[in-house]
């Protein structure tokens, strides 16, 4: 069984998350700023409940929660703690409700902190900010019962070998509560599944397999082989493997193949995934959001096998 996952947003379902800019808050008193942030956090926590209901209603089994759920939480000037917010109690209540709903309806929750989290950076302040950001995600994950915080390894200053060592060192300094939720994903320019596998197994860190990134940044492994490595890394912890899929804009023609298209081209769905005996989670990264997930589900379950294609490239 494939557990299909939606990433962060909806295009059709009336669920929207709110945000604020640091500059707009800077003109307010601290008290006013915290009031405004509190309202946004509460609205977003309630919107998360709407999002999970929609996810469940559409028949999806996973949801990636936007990192912006608490706007500007780690910002150097505008940042705050949850207990600084006037609505802290209500916010925690709404998140607890989301947690229960997800558990009851078997919705797997994850986070994917953005590109600013670079544990392999050679710059101390970048690493410190990354740790802060991960602790924020860890706190939210505890409150909503999210299982996975998925990140990339990061840059490769000084060569991949050195960068991996920096990552290892900085990873080990993170609180245990954060470490046990982290997962590492192959990226589209630097680190391939082969680059990550040994590190992941050594740190008991599961590996998220993004097949599109693997096609952009290949390592000689077939998709089947890389899928196997990913499954291994999750099996070790007795957890369900996690994959990502997306299709490039412009159908692999010239231009940047890295940007995402509205829908998943059925030919981009690896045929070998249909033969897997074990359950897995598949996040669908596509601009048409829930419509793209629905279309892919229909393509897989409704009309037999998708066309086999690009098995290794």
**Which residue, 11 or 274, is less far from DNA as judged by CB?**
11
What is the closest distance, in whole angstroms, from the C-beta atom of residue 100 to DNA in the complex? 25
- Does the footprint of DNA cover residue 147 (CB under 7 A)? no
**Which residue, 72 or 148, is less far from DNA as judged by CB?**
72
Segment interacting with DNA, rule: CB under 7 A, options 48-56, 64-72, 102-110, 139-147: 64-72
Rounded CA-CA distance 130/118 in Å is 6
Rounded CA-CA distance 86/146 in Å is 24
Contact 217, 190 (CB under 8 A): yes
Task: Quote the tokens at residue 135.
Answer: 């602790």
- Does the footprint of DNA cover residue 140 (CB under 7 A)? no
> Which positions from 260 through 279 interact with DNA, judged by CB under 7 A?
260
Segment interacting with DNA, rule: CB under 7 A, options 9-17, 194-202, 231-239, 271-279: 9-17
Query: Of these, 74, 170, 186, 233, which contacts DNA (CB under 7 A)?
Result: 74
Query: Of these, 38, 45, 110, 121, which contacts DNA (CB under 7 A)?
Result: 121
Segment interacting with DNA, rule: CB under 7 A, options 91-99, 103-111, 176-184, 253-261: 253-261
- Does the footprint of DNA cover residue 238 (CB under 7 A)? no
The number of CA neighbours under 13 Å toward the Cβ of 122 is 9
Contact 282, 210 (CB under 8 A): no
Segment interacting with DNA, rule: CB under 7 A, options 2-10, 219-227, 228-236, 274-282: 2-10
What is the closest distance, in whole angstroms, from the C-beta atom of residue 303 to DNA in the complex? 26
- DSSP states of 196-226: HHHHHHHHT--EEEEHHHHHHS--S--HHHH
Contact 41, 85 (CB under 8 A): yes
Radius of gyration of the chain (CA): 20
Rounded CA-CA distance 112/18 in Å is 18
Rounded CA-CA distance 37/81 in Å is 11
What is the closest distance, in whole angstroms, from the C-beta atom of residue 30 to DNA in the complex? 16
Rounded CA-CA distance 54/293 in Å is 13
At a CB cut-off of 8 Å and minimum separation 6, what does 226 contact?
A: 186, 193, 194, 209, 211, 214, 219
> Which positions from 151 through 180 interact with DNA, judged by CB under 7 A?
154-157
Rounded CA-CA distance 292/3 in Å is 14
Query: Of these, 259, 305, 309, 312, which contacts DNA (CB under 7 A)?
Result: 259
Rounded CA-CA distance 307/266 in Å is 7
What is the closest distance, in whole angstroms, from the C-beta atom of residue 111 to DNA in the complex? 10
Residue 112 φ/ψ, nearest 5 degrees: -135, 80
- Does the footprint of DNA cover residue 128 (CB under 7 A)? no
Query: Of these, 88, 97, 100, 129, which contacts DNA (CB under 7 A)?
Result: 129
**Which residue, 40 or 98, is less far from DNA as judged by CB?**
40
**Which residue, 96 or 257, is less far from DNA as judged by CB?**
257
Which x/- pattern over 183-202 shows residues binding DNA (rule: CB under 7 A)? ------xx------------
DSSP state of 300: I
Footprint on this chain of DNA (rule: CB under 7 A): 7-9, 11, 16-24, 27, 66-67, 72-76, 79, 112, 114-116, 118, 121-123, 126, 129, 133, 154-157, 189-190, 256, 258-260, 285, 287
């Amino acid at each position: 069984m494939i557990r299909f996952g939606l990433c962060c947003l909806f295009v059709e379902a009336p669920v929207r998350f709110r945000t604020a800019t640091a500059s707009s808050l800077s003109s307010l008193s601290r008290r006013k700023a915290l009031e405004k942030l509190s309202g946004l956090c509460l609205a977003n926590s309630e919107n998360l409940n709407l999002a999970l209901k929609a996810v469940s209603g559409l028949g999806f089994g996973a949801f990636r929660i936007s990192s912006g759920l608490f706007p500007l939480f780690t910002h150097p000037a505008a940042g705050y703690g949850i207990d600084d917010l006037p609505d802290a109690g209500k916010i925690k209540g709404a998140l607890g409700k989301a947690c229960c709903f997800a558990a009851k309806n078997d919705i797997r929750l994850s986070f994917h902190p953005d590109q600013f989290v670079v544990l392999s950076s050679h710059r101390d302040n970048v690493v410190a900010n990354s740790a802060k950001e991960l602790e924020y995600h860890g706190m939210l994950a505890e409150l909503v019962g999210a299982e996975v915080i998925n990140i990339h390894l990061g840059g490769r200053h000084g060569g991949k070998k050195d960068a991996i060592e920096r990552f290892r060192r900085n990873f080990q300094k993170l609180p245990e509560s954060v470490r046990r939720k982290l997962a590492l994903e192959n990226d589209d320019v630097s680190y391939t599944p082969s680059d990550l596998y040994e590190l992941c197994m050594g740190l008991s860190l599961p590996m998220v397999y993004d097949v599109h990134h693997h096609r952009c940044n290949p390592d000689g492994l077939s998709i089947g082989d890389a899928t196997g490595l990913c499954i291994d890394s999750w099996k070790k912890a007795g957890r369900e493997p996690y994959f990502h899929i997306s299709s490039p804009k412009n159908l692999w023609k010239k231009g940047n193949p890295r940007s995402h298209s509205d829908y998943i081209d059925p030919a981009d769905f690896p045929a070998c995934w249909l033969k897997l005996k074990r359950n897995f989670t598949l996040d669908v990264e596509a601009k048409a959001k829930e419509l793209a997930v629905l279309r892919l589900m229909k393509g897989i379950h409704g009309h037999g096998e998708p066309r086999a294609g690009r098995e290794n490239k």
